Amino acid sequence: ASDVYKRQILVKSISGGNLMLAGARIDTISGRQHLTAPHSYASELTAAGTFLEHVLPARGHLLECGIFQDQPTPVYIDSASAIFVIHDRAAVKRSIWLLRRATILQESAEYGDIIAIKIPGVDNFSDPETKQVSSKVWRRHLWYANNLPGPCPE
């Protein structure tokens, strides 16, 4: 295999996300994934699982403070394949570590802890945590993430 191909295989993906409460960002996640994903599907599913590791404790902290959540926490994901896997147990490709990660996401959705919602990439303000974006896109995401007043910058 060529050197370029080898380098592409060995690059680890980055998981990113923002945890919001009442319109305010309370946690930002950005970090390399613990293993090299063989394809983007695996990477997106791993990122969703990593984010779930922050959502569930936050729900627990709210409950300890006496704030009961009777609705699932919306989790906005820009990957259609990750959304599909969360909603369909038969959709997981045959990999044991992916199956374990998918099962936790599926059970969280079934128990009403999360609801996975597809978000278009243009509105995904977690993109700056995972990749470089243009200044125009950055301003738009910053407006969302910081709950700024006024119209959304275009």
Predicted local distance difference test score (pLDDT) of residue 60:
93
Q: What is the mean pLDDT of residues 97-108?
A: 86
Query: Mean per-residue pLDDT for 80-103?
Result: 79
Which range among 34-48, 93-107, 111-125 shows the weakest confidence by mean pLDDT?
34-48
Q: How far apart are CA 103 and CA 54, in angstroms?
A: 17
What burial letters (b/e) apply to 131-145, b meaning 16+ CB within 10 Å? eebeeebeebbebbb
Q: What pLDDT, on a 0 to 100 scale, did the predictor assign at position 16?
A: 79
Mean pLDDT over 40-69 rounds to 87
Does residue 19 register a pLDDT over 80? yes
Q: What is the mean pLDDT of the chain?
A: 80
